[in-house]
Structure 1
Amino acid sequence: MRGMTAREPRQQASAWRVFRVFLRLGLVSFGGPIAHLGYFRDEFVARRQWLTDSAYAELVALCQFLPGPASSQVGMAIGLSQAGIRGAVAAWCGFTLPSAVLMVLFALGLVHWGSALPAESLHGFKWVAVAVVAQAVWTMGRMFCIDAPRVLMAVATTLVVVWWPHAWVQWLLIAVGAMTGLALRRASDTAGADGMAVLLSARTGVAMLVAFLILLLLLPWVARYSMEPAVQVFDAFYRTGALVFGGGHVVLPLLQAEVVAPGWIGTGEFLAGYGFAQALPGPLFAFSAFLGTAMSAGPGGWLGAMVCLLAIFLPSFLLIVGVLPFWSRVRRQRGAQAAVAGVNAVVVGLLLAALHDPLWTTAVRDWRDVAWIAVGVVMLMWAKLPPWLVVLLLGLGGAASAWLSA
Structure 2
Amino acid sequence: MSIVDDSVVSTQQKVEEDAEATMVINYTQNSEEKETVVDVIFNDQKSSELANDEFRDNSKIPNLSYLQIFILFLDFGIHAWGGPVAQIALFKDRFVEKAEWITISRFNRVFGVYQILPGPEATEFAMYFGQLAGGRFGGLLGGLGFILPGFLLILLFSYIYEIVGFENDYFNASFRALQPIVAAFVLRAVHKIAEHSFISNRTNKFNYWLFGMAILSSILTALNLNMLITMGVCGIAFMFIDRKLYLIGILVFLLEFVGFGLYIGFNHGIPSPNSLGIGIAKQDELDSGHVFGLGLLTGSISFGGAYTTIPFLKAEAVVIGGWMTPATFLDAIAIGNILPAPLVMFSCFIGFQAGLKADGGGTGWGFLYAFLITVGVFTPCFLFTIIGHPYLEKLCRNKFMAAFFDGIVGSVVGLIAPTAFDLLRSSIITTGAISVVDENQRNLIALQRGAIAAVLYILTLGALYSIKHKMLAILLIISGAIAGQFLFIDR
Same fold (TM over 0.5): yes
CA distance in 1, matches of 2:164, 2:121: 35
Give per-residue Cα distances to partners, 1:147-182, cap 9 Å, x unaligned: 4322221122112212216xxx01111111211221
Residue type at the aligned position of 2:464: L
CA distance in 1, matches of 2:108, 2:186: 27
Q: Could you tell me which residue of structure 2 aligns to residue 286 of structure 1?
A: 345
1:269 to 328, 344, 347: 328
Give per-residue Cα distances to partners, 1:279-301, cap 9 Å, x unaligned: 22231121122222222248633
> Given the superposition, is the C-alpha separation of residues 110 and 58 from structure 1 closer, same or farther in structure 2, using an over 3 Å criterion?
same
Q: 1:241: how far off?
A: 0.2
Q: List structure 1 runs of 4+ shifted beyond 4 angstroms.
A: 220-224
> Given the superposition, is the C-alpha separation of residues 143 and 221 from structure 1 closer, same or farther in structure 2, using an over 3 Å criterion?
closer
Are residues 1:341 and 2:341 paired?
no
Are residues 1:364 and 2:415 paired?
no
Q: 1:392: how far off?
A: 0.8
Q: Could you tell me which residue of structure 1 aligns to residue 269 of structure 2?
A: none
Give per-residue Cα distances to partners, 1:238-293, cap 9 Å, x unaligned: 00100111112212111112211211222211111101211222311211222222
Q: Would the aligned equivalents of 2:78 and 2:149 in 1 still touch at CA under 8 Å? A: yes
Are residues 1:260 and 2:325 paired?
no
Are residues 1:241 and 2:321 paired?
no
> Given the superposition, is the C-alpha separation of residues 109 and 155 from structure 1 closer, same or farther in structure 2, using an over 3 Å criterion?
same
Q: 1:102: how far off?
A: 1.7
1:181-220 matched pairs, under 5 angstroms: 181-185=238-242
Q: Could you tell me which residue of structure 2 aligns to residue 307 of structure 1?
A: 372
Larger RCO (CA within 8 A; separation ≥ 6): 1
Q: 1:323: how far off?
A: 5.0
Are residues 1:143 and 2:196 paired?
yes
Are residues 1:41 and 2:92 paired?
yes
Residue type at the aligned position of 2:190: V
Q: 1:228: how far off?
A: 6.8
CA distance in 1, matches of 2:402, 2:64: 34
Q: Could you tell me which residue of structure 2 aligns to residue 376 of structure 1?
A: 460
CA distance in 2, matches of 1:395, 1:221: 34
Q: Could you tell me which residue of structure 2 aligns to residue 133 of structure 1?
A: 186
> Given the superposition, is the C-alpha separation of residues 223 and 286 from structure 1 closer, same or farther in structure 2, using an over 3 Å criterion?
closer
1:28-177 matched pairs, under 5 angstroms: 28-118=79-169, 119-145=172-198, 146-164=206-224, 169-177=226-234
What RMSD over aligned residues (CA atoms) do the two structures have, in Å?
2.7
> Given the superposition, is the C-alpha separation of residues 302 and 48 from structure 1 closer, same or farther in structure 2, using an over 3 Å criterion?
farther
Are residues 1:326 and 2:386 paired?
no
Q: Percent identity between the aligned chains?
A: 25
Q: Could you tell me which residue of structure 2 aligns to residue 179 of structure 1?
A: 236
> Given the superposition, is the C-alpha separation of residues 82 and 117 from structure 1 closer, same or farther in structure 2, using an over 3 Å criterion?
same
2:290 to 226, 232, 235: 232
Residue type at the aligned position of 2:240: A
Q: Secondary structure at the match of 2:186?
A: helix
CA distance in 2, matches of 1:222, 1:124: 31
Q: Could you tell me which residue of structure 2 aligns to residue 207 of structure 1?
A: none
> Given the superposition, is the C-alpha separation of residues 38 and 186 from structure 1 closer, same or farther in structure 2, using an over 3 Å criterion?
farther
CA distance in 2, matches of 1:42, 1:11: 17
CA distance in 1, matches of 2:279, 2:207: 39
Q: Which moved further from structure 2: 239-248 or 298-307? A: 298-307
Q: 1:356: how far off?
A: 1.8
For the pair shown, which has the larger CA radius of gyration, 1 or 2?
2
Scaled by the length of structure 2, the TM-score of the pair is 0.68
CA distance in 1, matches of 2:338, 2:279: 37
Give per-residue Cα distances to partners, 1:106-153, cap 9 Å, x unaligned: 111111110432244411221121111111112222332334322221
Q: Would the aligned equivalents of 2:353 and 2:366 in 1 still touch at CA under 8 Å? A: yes
CA distance in 1, matches of 2:142, 2:303: 22
Give per-residue Cα distances to partners, 1:274-333, cap 9 Å, x unaligned: 012112223112112222222224863332221111110000111122352424532332
Residue type at the aligned position of 1:243: I
Aligned residues: 362
